[in-house]
DNA sequence: TTCTTATTTGGTTATATTGCCAAATAACCA
DNA sequence: TGGTTATTTGGCAATATAACCAAATAAGAA
């Protein structure tokens, strides 16, 4: 794998990594149902607002969400709804894993 | 977000995290073109075999690939080809990001 | 301007990840 | 059996991530 190729996969990894956290996956899921401000998400998640804000900036830097300031509030919007299709695949992976573990116990 | 919900997103995160690394993304891409043994992947990647082996075990534990021992070699097979569809989406995210950065420079 | 609300940023600590080396394991061959 | 090849495992050091708190910033209201 040469430098250029590694750089290419590294760029892809930035986007994938941005979603590789339970809180950020929850945020993406929540935003797929419509925009939400940081305060609403903080309430839903039940963590420090600074923590939620940092998770949002990871998603924003990866191009997955965008923000929009209105008054004192900042609303976040899912910019790339195509990521949602991926979750069906992820859930299939999980189902197969559980199936396999069941076979193993038998 | 209650305990159960967090556990659900944590499970999803295990699968996403398994792909959140340039080398593992490369492996998935490579395996989508057919099975390969650890030795072949090590040659292609140009890293220590133990490193490649560990990356493969992350993908295996997440249910994304499976392994098959034949003689002294271990072949890895992409078990969940649906993850490939996701890359089209990731590449779209990247394209939009670059577009945005271009606008910003202008 | 001062107060309040919403959000981000900086700093710190705890934990997780990554990559290498060396050693252990496993299967085949002579 | 002993040797060779392929792979995995354990351990270590370097780096990255995540969560909290406190402080800074930004916009609107009094």
Q: What residue spans define the domains of chain A?
A: 3-80
Residue A82: what pLDDT?
92
Q: What is the mean pLDDT of residues B42-53?
A: 98
> Pick the residue with more confidence: A66 or B101?
A66
Q: How confident is the model at residue A75 (pLDDT cuts 50, 70, 90)?
A: very high
Q: Are B101 and A91 in contact (CB under 8 A)?
A: no
Q: How confident is the model at residue A4 (pLDDT cuts 50, 70, 90)?
A: very high
Residue B104 reports pLDDT greater than 80: no
Q: Which of B6, B8, B12 to mutate to test the interface with A (most CBs of A within 10 A)?
A: B12
Q: Are B86 and B39 in contact (CB under 8 A)?
A: no
Asked whether residue A74, judged by its CB, lies under 7 Å from any atom of the DNA or RNA strand D, the reply is no
**What DSSP designation does A46 have?**
T
Q: How confident is the model at residue A56 (pLDDT cuts 50, 70, 90)?
A: very high
Please tell me the distance in Å from B24's CA to the nearest CA on chain A: 9
Residue A106: what pLDDT?
73
CATH of B3-80, one of 1.10.3720.10, 1.10.10.10, 2.60.40.10, 3.40.605.10: 1.10.10.10
Residue B102 reports pLDDT greater than 90: no
């Amino acid at each position: 794998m040469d430098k250029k190729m590694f750089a290419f996969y590294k760029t892809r990894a930035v986007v994938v990594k941005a979603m590789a956290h339970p809180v950020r996956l929850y945020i993406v899921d929540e935003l797929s149902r419509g925009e939400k401000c940081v305060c609403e998400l903080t309430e839903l998640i039940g963590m420090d607002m600074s923590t939620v804000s940092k998770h949002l900036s990871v998603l924003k830097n990866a191009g997955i969400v965008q923000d929009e300031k209105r008054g004192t509030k900042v609303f976040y919007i899912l910019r790339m709804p195509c990521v949602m299709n991926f979750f069906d695949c992820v859930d299939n992976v999980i189902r197969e894993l559980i199936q396999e573990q069941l076979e193993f116990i038998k």
